[in-house]
Structures are given as structure tokens and as C-alpha cells.
Structure 1
Amino acid sequence: MQTVTFENSKQVLEYAALNSDQILVLFSTYAEIEMIDARLPENVIVASSFAQTYAGERKERGFTGFVIDKNECEIVPIADPPILSRYDLKKAYDKVKDNPNAFMYLIADGLSGQEDMILTSLYFMRTDFKMIGGSAGDMKHDETLIYYGSHRVKHLCIFVDCKKRTKLVKENIYVPTGKKMFVTNADPIKRCVYTFNNRPADEEYARILGISLCDLNDAFISHPLGQKVDGELFINSPQKINHDHSITFYSEIIPNKFIDVLGLGDMKQIMAETREKMGMKPSTLLSINCVLRDLYFKKPGKWREVFASLDELNEKEAGFISAGEQYNFDHCNQTMVLLGIE
């Protein structure tokens, strides 16, 4: 398994023809995928995304991802609704479940809001089985393109029977501020919160931050919400303020529980902790970064800091900018998930 990047579709098609024993898993823009979809050979998987990362560079052109031997993986398209694919998913999982280095790589339609349904459909998997995923798509189009060969699919996952040691790491650059809100009325299916502390969601959010309501939308990037699951922090990013004063999020929030208000942490220290958690210098490094992290990292010098840290692990890191991240059995936002293969 190794990371790859191609400047154009011609290079993709040439490589795929010469390496029919490999599966190519690639990410690119909606426009570039539209031009290639009808000609895609059966050993190519491609999905639309905001942007890609490769070897210390953020890319908005070409195709970037990884290649893997066919005999090392099994590909399972996921239906709509996802529960319809549970038998195919379990069959593929059963083949690799006893390998501690095996993992599942998920590509979800980030515009469908079905990530939680997909994760629920994996009820048969052990909680210690590694799963990394990203929500594909972009904000410029009202649909996500995911192709397996010339066949368009809703979602897709790849079970990899890896023989080398693997490590899965999650990074948040946000930390609890000590401020909390109680979710008093919310619809997890719609990912919408109506009230915090029995007050309209937007008004209470702004009050807790000590800002005016008109400044709340601009504060989302610096002050998302978060909740701990088994001691680990998972971020819930606000998407928009609605006319009824409710707030729609990019991931579900359950009512009748406290949720933390977050703020930016010490980025340099956090990235050092990420490298330490990896615990090895992987020969292959795959990343998935949230589009909201990308928005922050577009500030002068920020992406350079991130790439410098990743280069210490592997100088040919490859990944994509997602609309949400899946880490084991949780869907989160404003996060980077990393998969290292020794």
C-alpha cells in the first residue's frame, strides 16, 4: 500500500491499465471526476472532495490518494439506506476481524447526512476494530460523486487485510474552555439543537461566549462544541443558524446532556502529541482533514505548520479535505484522522 498523486486523468488511466492487480483509491474535484467517470476502469475508486493533500502540499487539481493490492482488500458499496448492506458488510468484516492490523476505510456521501446511519449499520463489528473514514463532497455542488469503476455508488467502504502494523490517531486543535451548555431540546436525526439551558440555541450560545448574536456565526470556527466519549473529545461543528433560532450542526447532538464549549488550543503542542500517539514512523500515512480545519489553516503559515509536523512522520502523506470525519464508530467534525502503516 502506498500513496500516489496524478496531475490529470490521463495519468490515472495509464497507471490503472498498467497495474490491473491494484486498486486505486483517489480524490479529486467534482469537475475533474465528471470528465473521467465514463472511462473509469473497474480497479479505480474516485470521490469528489474540497481539496487534497500530498507531500506537504494542498492541492485543488489532479487526483490524490493511495493504491492497494487487490488480494489485500475487499470493497463493499453501501446502499441507501445503509442498513440494507449489513450482510455484505458483515461478510467482508468476518474475513478480516481476527487480524489486529486490519482496518476499514469508509468514503461516505457528505451531503446525505447518513454517516450516523452507516456507523449504526456496523453494529456487528468489535469496538476495537480500526475504522477511518471521511465524508466526501464539496459546497460548490449539491451532490457528491463517488465511483467504483464506471458505477456510481452512494457510499463505499474498503476492508483491508493489512499484514503490517497499523495505528489510528485522531487530532483536535480545540480544547474545552470550561464553559458548558445543557442540551434541553434537540433532534439528533436532523442534527438540530433548538434550545440550550432552556433558552433559544443561538441566543444562549452567544451569551455563553460573551458576544452579540450578530457575531455568533463568525465565532463558530473558533468555538465549536464538543463531547467526550470514553474519555476522548469529539467535536460537533455548527453549520448554520436557522430562522427559528435553532442551530444545525454537522453531526448529531443528543438531548439531555451537557456539551462543552471549545476554543483553540496550543497547536504546536497538540501536533507534537499527535506524533507521539502515532508511536512509529509509518511507511504509509493517510490523512483526512475537516473542511473547517482547512478554513482555519488557510490563514498565513498554518498549513505549513501542519505539513511540517506530518513530514516528521512521513514525507509522502496523502489525504483529502472532508465534510466530516469517522474515527472508529464516531462521526465528528473539525478533526484530523490519521492512519499509519508501519
Structure 2
Amino acid sequence: MDHPDSAPWRGPGAAVPVRAAVAASTPGALAALARALGPGPFAQVFLFASPEADLAALAARAPAVFAPARVCGCSTSGEITGRGYDSGQIVAFALPSGGFAVEQMLIERLDGLDPRALIADLLRARQALGRRAPDWPQECAVLLVDGLSGQEDALVAALSGGLGTVPVVGGSAGDAARFERAPVFARGALRENAAVLTLIRSAWDMRPFCFAHQRPTARRMVVTRADPSRRLVARINDEPAAQEYARHLGLAPDRLTPFLFAAHPVLVRAGGRHHVRSIQQVEPDGGLTFFAAIDEGLVLTLAEPVDMVAHLREELAGLSETGAPATILAFDCFFRRLEAEGRQLGRQISELLVAHRVCGLSTYGEQVGAMHVNQTITGLAFYPPEAR
């Protein structure tokens, strides 16, 4: 049976973003994706690939298969296709050159980032894009980051100095919860400790969004010992971190599981809003490793979820208040998916994603503006020019 994305939705009008997906095990997977996307030509092709794929071969061959398009992508912890939540797939999302122009920046050695040099490179790239597409007023950026680099917070903070008011969304690569390698790829090769920033200009309206379904409770804790460079919390309320977190849940530390971390994240308050800090795992010494920045003195608030299905239905409907988007590119936290499936809500979430033409991947964290966040669904909704 054909994959639901083998005939991508195209909608009315020209230069519509298109998507396709094939199983990672498909012989000639890239050629199959190229056929499914159609003739293009494309300015940009994003590839989101299950770690079941031969990622090195995929990265090496993709530029020739999709030329003259720019190509970049990353490994995933699950995919979003025409079936909703999916796994073992390679997803392609393409921007036609008739309606979009791009510049692509490869950012390497994230652990030795030079913010001044990065901002200078970014400003040059923005200027070059502006000269090539002066009549297309809409501008945004998509950021893909090595999901195990631990550098997302510093990177998005540095980029904000050169992006100004340009919206940026994106995700941290995953590796299906193995926590071994979560690379990005660009310029024909896999890249670790690296990121890829794609600057986009278009006549299309590209609206960023970020939906989070948690709300704060009255239960608070204070980080009293931490190693920010490793995103490691050793002690909370001056007690071993895992033990104290488990106590607030009414559990023994040995009962902590990835599903419990997903169902009971903690929040930190920044910029007048609460943001999730997802826990990755318990360390042998009883510490907790997080997916985002953490530091001593932070107040952690235990979160509780609202109805995931009702919340997502309402938020996606809100994106269609003035007309439905042609398609939506989404970066959905792996822990959101884990929570949905653990609560037996995966099918209902998938039905909503399909109904609203959402495609993308499950991530180890999401980028929105100058923030690296967890346990959200973040992305871009694409509206044709006539919709404005």
C-alpha cells in the first residue's frame, strides 16, 4: 500500500510547499522521495530521518538527488507523516523556488562558539538573501541542532543578536531515545556538535507557533547543586535530586521512568512565562540530567498537564481562524509523544495532526525565538499570499 505522503498535498496555486515520506528501509529511498515531491524546482529540501536509515549515505547522496535545492536535515526520535505519529521513516519537506528563497548557514564547534563571528556571518547571510529576494517581505529561520550537544541555549541566545525580529523555530535532533548520537547533516555530510540555520524569504505568510499543555502547580523546589555545563542537577532542596523529585511525586526513586518524566515535568519562569525543563534521565549517583539549561538557585515548579487532545485541537484550530494554512512544519518534543502514547492518546493526537496537514519530527527539544524549550510542539504554519 502507498504511504499516505507518497502523493503530497498541493492545494490551489503555484509554488506550494510539499512533503513526502518513505520507510527508512526503502531501496532507493531518496529517489522515491524525489519522485513523490514532484519536479520542483525547489529552493530548500529538509530531511528528517529515523536513525534506522543509513544517515551517512543519506547525507552524502541527498545534495545530488535534490540539486539545485539546498538540503539539510537531522536524525529523529520519531516522525510526523501523513499517518500522524510515525516511526522508521524519512520525511522530506520542500520549499519551491517559485515562492521561496533561502540562505543556509552551517555552524560547527558549538562548544567553542564565537558569538561575534556568528553574528557577523548571520548578518552577511541575511543581506545576501535580501538582495536575491527583495520583493518577498516575509522572513523567518529554521534551526536544526545536534540534540546531544547541550549547546542549544547558548546558540539561540547568540543568534538572537543577529536575527533581530526575524522569527526562528526549530528542533534538536533525536536518536529514538538511545542518547548516543543525534547529528544534523548539511553539505553532504553528518555533523556532530553542529547546527544548521536556514534563512527563508517568501511572499507566503510563515507564522511561528509554540504550544505547551502544562500548567504550574503549587509544588516548588530549589536547585541547590548543579553542573550547568552538563545540564546536571545533583541536589534539590539540599537532598539528592532524584530522591527529592520522586518525593514530590509520592514515589520511590527507583520508580522513576521516562514516562513519569514526560507526565510530570518541571517548569522554570522566564520572561513572564513558565517553560518546561524536561528530565532526560537519572544518573547512577542520584542526579538528574535535563534536556535544557539548568543552574543553581533556579526555582523548579512541578507541572501538571491539561487535556492534551483538547488543547491541541483548540490551538490548531486557532491557526485557521483567518483561513487554513496550506501545510504546517512541526517540531514535536519526544516527551510529548511519549506522554501521549503513555496516556493512550497517540491515535487521537495523530488524527489531529493529519487533519491539519502537519509534518515534521519528534525532537530532543525545540527552539523558538531566543529560547530553547522542552515538551512543546513548535513550528511554522504556511499560508499562501492570497490568504493575506
Same fold (TM over 0.5): yes
Please state how far the C-alpha of 1:20 moved relative to its aligned partner: 4.7
Match of residue 201 from structure 1: 241
| Structure 1 CA distance for aligned equivalents of residues 242 and 347 of structure 2 | 34
| Structure 2 CA distance for aligned equivalents of residues 177 and 287 of structure 1 | 28
Match of residue 373 from structure 2: 332
Of 140, 149, 156, the residue aligned with 1:119 is 156
Q: Is the 8 A contact 1:288 1:337 kept in 2?
A: yes
| CA displacement, residues 239-296 of structure 1 (integer Å, 9 cap, x when unaligned) | 1222332211111123223121012222233224412543442112111111111222
Give the stretch that moved more between structures: 140-149 or 218-227. 140-149
Shift in CA distance, 36/209, structure 1 to aligned 2, threshold 3 Å: closer
Match of residue 90 from structure 2: 63
Match of residue 5 from structure 1: 20
Residues 132-281 of structure 1 mapped to structure 2, 5 A cutoff: 132-138=169-175, 139-140=177-178, 142-153=180-191, 154-217=194-257, 219-278=260-319, 279-280=321-322, 281=324
The 4+ residue runs of structure 1 with deviation greater than 4 A are 13-18
Match of residue 38 from structure 1: 60
SS in 2 for 1:221: helix
Match of residue 119 from structure 2: 86
Q: Is the 8 A contact 1:24 1:68 kept in 2?
A: yes
Match of residue 353 from structure 2: 310
| Structure 2 CA distance for aligned equivalents of residues 309 and 11 of structure 1 | 27
Match of residue 77 from structure 2: 50
| Structure 1 CA distance for aligned equivalents of residues 178 and 278 of structure 2 | 19
The CA RMSD over aligned residues, in Å, is 2.7
SS in 2 for 1:189: helix
Structure 1 spans left out of the alignment, 5+ residues? none
**Matched AA of 1:67:** A
Please state how far the C-alpha of 1:16 moved relative to its aligned partner: 8.2
Structure 2 spans left out of the alignment, 5+ residues? 1-15, 23-28, 384-388
Please state how far the C-alpha of 1:127 moved relative to its aligned partner: 5.7
SS in 1 for 2:347: helix
Residues 72-111 of structure 1 mapped to structure 2, 5 A cutoff: 72-81=101-110, 82-83=113-114, 85-94=118-127, 95=129, 101-111=138-148
Please state how far the C-alpha of 1:307 moved relative to its aligned partner: 2.9
TM-score normalised by structure 2 residue count: 0.78
- Number of residues paired by the alignment? 340
| Structure 2 CA distance for aligned equivalents of residues 309 and 117 of structure 1 | 34
Residues 281-320 of structure 1 mapped to structure 2, 5 A cutoff: 281-299=324-342, 301-312=344-355, 314=356, 316-320=357-361
SS in 2 for 1:306: helix
| Structure 1 CA distance for aligned equivalents of residues 222 and 351 of structure 2 | 39
SS in 1 for 2:242: helix
Match of residue 28 from structure 1: 49
Please state how far the C-alpha of 1:21 moved relative to its aligned partner: 4.2
SS in 2 for 1:45: strand
Q: Is the 8 A contact 1:16 1:24 kept in 2?
A: no
Shift in CA distance, 202/318, structure 1 to aligned 2, threshold 3 Å: same
| Structure 1 CA distance for aligned equivalents of residues 221 and 179 of structure 2 | 34
Give the stretch that moved more between structures: 145-154 or 189-198. 145-154
| Structure 2 CA distance for aligned equivalents of residues 201 and 100 of structure 1 | 49
| Structure 1 CA distance for aligned equivalents of residues 358 and 276 of structure 2 | 24
